[in-house]
Structure 1
Amino acid sequence: MSNPNWKRVVIKVGSALISPNQQGCSSHYLLSIAQFIVRCRANGTQVVLVSSGSVAAGAHLFPELEKSDIAIKKAMAAAGQTEMIATWDRLFDFPSAQILLTHADLRDRERYVSIRETIFSLLDNGVLPIVNENDTVTTDKLKVGDNDNLSAMVASAAEADALIICSDIDGLYDKNPHEHDDATLLKTVDNIDASIYAMAGGAVKGGVGTGGMRTKIEAAEKAVSHGIDTYIINGFTELSFNMLLNGENPGTHFKPHAKPMQENVHWMRHTSNAQGEVIVEGDFDAQLDSDAEQLTSSEIVDVKGEFSVGDTILVRKEDGTKLVKAKSNYSSCLLNFIANQENEEFANEFEEKTGPIISDQHIANLEKE
């Protein structure tokens, strides 16, 4: 690394740093992180903070209740969120703002653009955005599930130059360093493939967070595809942040793609959820990423799920091969109707009048990713 010249950086802080003992918030580990944010801003770098910890921070307020109960967890999140924001706010002499998100907010294009505009407005006016998943209202259908992946989505939305993910170890090792004394730290990762995921293992057992090293790699994969330098560092040591500011790599650096995805394609690929599927013939080989109009009703074998105009859909072959995620210009009901027309001339004329089945402005090729 050379001396960082970041215009904008996203830093993700986990529950173990916020509330290490689940007895409310502690500033013990947060002071060095806050100082890092202060120094970044002094250097002209805008910062977005993605902070977990609301459930862990609120746990001590419900000592006699079953913590696995979903309703109790939501109550813990509601109570802990105010304490967490207040703790962060006390560490800064500049204003901060709370942004609570669900996956439903991010996967809806209009709301996603609104989130971007809000973040940019806060940053332009010197306000620190503090982002967290809205655990009080999320359901299995609506949640991102972990703030590692959320931080990558936020970094993409914020057009960040760097994403810094704080961990309880120095970075990605070739094997679990808690179990193997000969584990070796990977300082640089040029390409995230199956071998990198194999090093990650599963989620942390017995911790206060919802992720582990695997979710951090998932987040890194999302971020680097958008051209964002990504680091996994030890958030428990002040040295990590000092090294970053001095242009040194304190952990594992995931290098960004040389040709990043465009913002709208990245959103379609990594953030938007497919609401249904369109199954095409097995020998279908059109280049959907370059010419969406090549997909016509004559190639469609089946339509699965219910979706509306503007929803994201998955286009795949009969054998399961995924081709693209794309914005549908037709509802599932209408698409079923024209695809089942025996009169091919009718279907062709209908499509000529109404336009292509999927939008070439919002399409992400999956075979090449």
Structure 2
Amino acid sequence: MVAGLSVVRNDNPLSPAACPRLIVKVGSALLVAPDGTIRRDWLATLVADIAAAHAAGQQVAIVSSGAIALGARRLKLPKGGRASLEDAQAAAATGQIALSQAWSDLLASHDLVAAQMLLTLDDLEDRRRYLNASATLDRLLSLRVVPVINENDSVATAEIRFGDNDRLAARVGQAAGAQGVLLLSDIDGLYTANPQRDPEARFVERVERIDAAIFAMADGGTASGMGSGGMISKLQAAQIANSAGTTLAIASGHHDHALSRFIETGHGTVFLPERAKRARKAWLAGRLRVTGSIQVDAGAAAALAKGKSLLPAGATEVSGIFQRGDVIDVLGPDGRALARGLAEYDAADAARIVGQRSDRLAAILGYAPRAALIHCDHMVLL
């Protein structure tokens, strides 16, 4: 069948109706054949699913493995390009072109525009770079573009890499403000034991808490030997996603139309966040160093309490030395901390626009301004 997302499982948390923004991760074993070529016919069915989800109003970003495997074949490198770091970097640089072209061509056949983003660990760990990545993802998705994302393996080293695209997909989900992450895998989900070794292993449909007992069900291997992840990396990805208030699911990608099949049948393992979206901002409240503050008037304080962003017009004073992306406090008229968030401006520029209307900012700063001093997506109330 050609996927039209005729949804049977209306309760599926990753369906277009329940999940306006979705991250789909595609593993190397699904996308690349054993001979090192792209499984283009299979990929075409997945792209048809993405186009159907797009038509249903869902915004979709793709985290795609496969560059190293593709490049290794073109360069005739041993061990799938993973014999050394240098080989992996060379294979990634070569294979990424072919990978991006395949996605772009197939998406274009459905009148969808593709965009490429290559990220390293530092891009999502450093707060300023995280903000830039988040803003780029948000803008691309709002423009109805389909971002195709991969780790930048051509420059990443052991110290600055995710190591697998499962965890990258979870981090991208956080940066994109996605409600769901789907890991299409060479296994259909989590089992109580490795089903290839234990015939009595039972399938796990829902996980509401990831603890030591859940990790005990997993092992670190991959069925294909082609990728870098395994069930443990998928559980770690689920932890990252759930801590951000995002639902994560693992489903088999071996079938044609893998996305629509999961949406329609719900067959896979779904990891549900314990505290929904509140957990997504928990790290702001307690774990990051505060480098400055912005005091606000009573009107701005009331707007913040309703979930609004902090606009320059409501600010009264800037204190401290901080840069865009640093964590700062928002103080009420009485000096009490009301909120904490990531600064959208350096301290010097923030001080220049305190109390100013939005239509004055460009003239004051001399460049196109950002709408908020702190955006509500990057702020938590205290």
> TM-score, normalised to structure 2's length?
0.69
Letter in 2 for 1:197: F
Q: Is 1:252 aligned to 2:269, yes or no?
A: yes
Letter in 2 for 1:24: T
1:26-58 per-residue CA deviation (whole Å, 9 max, x = no partner) reads 214322321221111010000010001100111
Distance 1:81 1:113 in 2: 25
Alpha carbons of 1:180 and 1:24: their partners in 2 closer, same or farther (altered >3 Å)? Answer: same
1:125-177 per-residue CA deviation (whole Å, 9 max, x = no partner) reads 22110010000001111111111000000001111111100111110000111
Within 5 Å, give how 1:195-344 maps onto structure 2. Answer: 195-204=213-222, 207-238=225-256, 240-246=258-264, 248-261=265-278, 263-266=280-283, 289=286, 325-327=287-289, 329=291
Q: Is 1:30 aligned to 2:43, yes or no?
A: yes
User: Tell me, which stretches of 5 or more residues in structure 2 are unaligned?
Assistant: 1-8, 293-318, 322-326, 330-339, 343-382
1:331-367 per-residue CA deviation (whole Å, 9 max, x = no partner) reads xxxxxxxxxxxxxxxxxxxxxx979xx966369xxxx
Letter in 2 for 1:20: A
1:274-310 per-residue CA deviation (whole Å, 9 max, x = no partner) reads xxxxxxxxxxxxxx93xxxxxxxxxxxxxxxxxxxxx
CA contact (8 A) 1:24 1:59 kept: no
Distance 2:261 2:88 in 1: 37
CA contact (8 A) 2:29 2:224 kept: no
Letter in 2 for 1:187: E
> TM-score, normalised to structure 1's length?
0.71
Distance 1:125 1:259 in 2: 26
Letter in 1 for 2:155: V
Look up the match of 1:279: none
Task: Name the SS of the counterpart of 2:101 in structure 1.
Answer: helix
Letter in 1 for 2:289: K
Q: Is 1:88 aligned to 2:50, yes or no?
A: no
CA contact (8 A) 1:166 1:232 kept: yes
Within 5 Å, give how 1:47-196 maps onto structure 2. Answer: 47-63=60-76, 67=81, 68-93=83-108, 94-196=112-214
Distance 1:124 1:174 in 2: 40
Distance 1:251 1:205 in 2: 17
Task: Name the SS of the counterpart of 2:34 in structure 1.
Answer: coil
Distance 1:92 1:223 in 2: 26
Task: Name the SS of the counterpart of 2:158 in structure 1.
Answer: coil
Task: Name the SS of the counterpart of 2:136 in structure 1.
Answer: helix
1:67-113 per-residue CA deviation (whole Å, 9 max, x = no partner) reads 41221211100010000111111211211010000011111111111
Task: Name the SS of the counterpart of 2:173 in structure 1.
Answer: helix
1:213 Cα deviation from its structure 2 partner? 0.5
Letter in 1 for 2:138: F
Task: Name the SS of the counterpart of 1:10 in structure 2.
Answer: strand
Alpha carbons of 1:205 and 1:92: their partners in 2 closer, same or farther (altered >3 Å)? Answer: closer
Look up the match of 1:7: 20
Alpha carbons of 1:182 and 1:239: their partners in 2 closer, same or farther (altered >3 Å)? Answer: farther
Distance 2:78 2:272 in 1: 45
1:202 Cα deviation from its structure 2 partner? 1.6
Alpha carbons of 1:33 and 1:354: their partners in 2 closer, same or farther (altered >3 Å)? Answer: closer
1:259 Cα deviation from its structure 2 partner? 4.1
Aligned residues: 283
CA contact (8 A) 1:171 1:233 kept: yes
Distance 1:27 1:258 in 2: 40
Task: Name the SS of the counterpart of 1:176 in structure 2.
Answer: coil
Distance 1:81 1:163 in 2: 22
Distance 2:257 2:73 in 1: 31
User: Tell me, which stretches of 5 or more residues in structure 1 are unaligned?
Assistant: 269-287, 290-324, 331-352, 364-369
Distance 2:53 2:201 in 1: 32
1:224 Cα deviation from its structure 2 partner? 1.5
* Greater Cα offset, 66-75 or 88-97: 66-75
